[in-house]
Copies of this chain bind each other. A is one copy, B any other.
């Protein structure tokens, strides 16, 4: 199977599209732009969900659920937000189908079942949630509200790609309400930091934490914090965002509270989200020409055992040893799959597990049984070793930790070697054409310059890094004075 995978060097984009489908992660559906997330892909998403959910709850957040639909009048209440999403939203206009009198056996929209007010399928939930919060908040005692929602959202994108940009996607969206500006900003920053910790420690994807420029900000936000990752092809990918919404939504939905001093004030807001887009980041950060490479913490199972046998007797003997390993590793919280299919030869199984990125493969054959050993193979490095049965548990535990760290370090090296400081626009263009990656350059702070650079090079400002230093300089395009560098890149 993996033989058929296009190599990254040949066509990175094609490699990605093929890999997603061949590794059984997802596929296109009969609905334009909407994907089916297959069980193997969904199992990875579930691991992400579980860890994020744990981190959210540990920081005091609770889950809730708000309606899928947003009445048009609510949708348009916060003007900038509405403007940002109006062009790409699915709209429900009717609530019934009837048999089509002109087309026997077919259904049509019932013209008598038109909604009085159209319903927008949520592209994001600030509007419906702030309209709800109005009823929850009277006094500072009702604050903060720290709520998260796991949900599907719809944005009618014209050009879609599995996981990276789909008309429907799954995500979590946090929506918090605060009594003070400071507290809301702190929350915004905290959640961006949690996203960074999650992508780095769990997904083994290094990220730059930063703030978006005005033109890249979320529609309706005062400030958008983000984490930016770098893919193997040198393009950046926005992996998560956390928005300080100021009092914009509170004003739009008239959500006021009595503060400690007894005065009425508008409530301060944040929202933050990551989506199934992270699956795309995961794939494009670690995988290779043989297929998916998964950090152990995200793999649906960390180990696969492939039996090598010529007859039932040998199979049974191998199975017995395998069962012992499975039990031992299960007790250590390590997932193991025994691939006992009799319809595939070991070589074909090896190829499939490589394609699907199982971190460790154990092969056990008659010789191993004689010698009290197994063959252990690492997916990320393709190294193999013969391991004594006695020490297999320790070796597996150790190796899984090593793989997790090694994937992160490899991605970090790649990322760090693809941040180029540039002080000249000719060099800027040259780096983009040759080395790609992030370009660290001075910028004069205007949207006009940002727009001009984008037109000329397709690179956008990914973020103003949080850890950037103040530094005297001049804009790489206009030569006007600048106090700090920003990160440019072509982006997904």
Binding site for B on A (CB under 8 A): 27, 29-31, 34-39, 42-43, 45-46, 62-72, 74-76, 79, 82, 86-99, 105-107, 109, 118-121, 128, 131-132, 135, 141, 147, 151-152, 154, 156, 168, 170, 343
Tell me the dominant secondary structure on chain A's binding face. Answer: mixed
Partner of A31 from B46, B63, B69 at Cβ < 8 Å: B69
What B residues does A107 contact at CB under 8 A? 72, 75-76, 82, 86
What B residues does A96 contact at CB under 8 A? 86-89, 91, 156
What B residues does A132 contact at CB under 8 A? 27, 29-30, 36
Chain B proximity of A313: nearest CB distance (Å):
24
Is the CB–CB distance between B29 and A67 below 8 Å? yes
Bound form: Cα–Cα A448–B171 in Å? 48
Copies in the complex: 2
Chain A to chain B: the 5 pairs with minimum beta-carbon distance, closest first: A39-B62, A34-B67, A37-B65, A86-B97, A95-B156
What B residues does A170 contact at CB under 8 A? 65
Say yes or no: A86-B69 contact (C-beta < 8 A), given A36-B64, A64-B39: no
Chain B proximity of A349: nearest CB distance (Å):
14
19 additional A-B pairs beyond A34-B68, A72-B107, beta carbons within 8 Å, are A27-B135, A29-B128, A30-B132, A31-B70, A31-B128, A35-B67, A37-B65, A43-B63, A68-B154, A75-B97, A79-B105, A86-B97, A88-B96, A89-B97, A90-B119, A91-B92, A92-B92, A96-B156, A97-B120
Is the CB–CB distance between B88 and A64 below 8 Å? no
Cross-chain pairs A/B with CB under 8 angstroms, 6 sampled? A31-B69, A43-B62, A88-B96, A91-B92, A93-B109, A95-B156
Bound form: Cα–Cα A42–B65 in Å? 7
Is the CB–CB distance between B109 and A91 below 8 Å? yes
Bound form: Cα–Cα A76–B46 in Å? 32
Partner of A68 from B72, B120, B168 at Cβ < 8 Å: B168
Chain B proximity of A489: nearest CB distance (Å):
30
